[in-house]
Amino acid sequence: MSYKKLEIWTLARELSIKVHKMTMTELPAFELYEEGSQIRRSSKSTRSLIVEGYGRREYKQDFIRFLINALASNDESIDHLETLWETQSLKSRKSYDELLQLANHLGMKLNRFIEVVKVKHNQLKEPEQEYFTNIPAIQDQGSSIDQGSSIPDQVSNNKNRESKEYKSEI
């Protein structure tokens, strides 16, 4: 599985793109590098933290920590959006409502996802095969990789061989 299949990442991606477009087209020039820059960074941070947390998903506390940071960045984006609306730098009620609804929805999904990770972390295993598709065969003459076996089998065989070599050194 890939982080791109996570609904929270899809929502965060959609939000970061919409926020970016809004800041470039709907804000006054002076806000481009002020509040506009802040909301762009916080919305993109939400997305990136989900990805980084997913990369560390094997370690429950790391995964949760990154997801909580993603939630905090999302809250920051909501605050920047509200500031833009309250100061009338963002004048489009439609854009404000759409972005606020999307950010709130993402926040709810992140909260729920965090709770599920806390309870069900590593209870379901991802299919190993998905990580080993479309990998070109290594054509190195000095390689100890068996061209006839699958990569997961080769990894397992290498671990067994290394373990035996280690025990023989003791």
- What residue spans define the domains of the chain? 3-120
The Cβ of residue 10 has, within 10 Å, a number of other Cβ atoms equal to 16
Residue 34 CB burial class (10 angstroms; 0-12, 13-18, ≥19): middle
Q: Return the amino acid letter for 77.
A: S
pLDDT at 38: 97
pLDDT at 85: 98
Exposure string for 38-73, b = 16+ CB within 10 A, e = fewer: bbbbbbbbbbbbbbbbbeebeeeeebbebbebbbeb
The CATH code for residues 3-120 is 1.20.1440.60
Q: Closest by alpha carbon to 56, among 105, 117, 138, 132? A: 117
pLDDT at 140: 46
pTM, entire model = 0.72
Q: How far apart are CA 93 and CA 113, in angstroms?
A: 30
pLDDT tens digits, one per residue of 42-80: 999 999 999 999 999 999 999 999 999 999 999 999 999
pLDDT at 153: 54
Q: Return the amino acid letter for 81.
A: L
pLDDT at 102: 98
pLDDT at 1: 72
Q: Closest by alpha carbon to 47, among 81, 78, 95, 15? A: 15
pLDDT at 72: 98
Q: Which helix (H) or strand (E) holds 125?
A: none
Low-confidence ranges of the chain (pLDDT < 70): 124-170
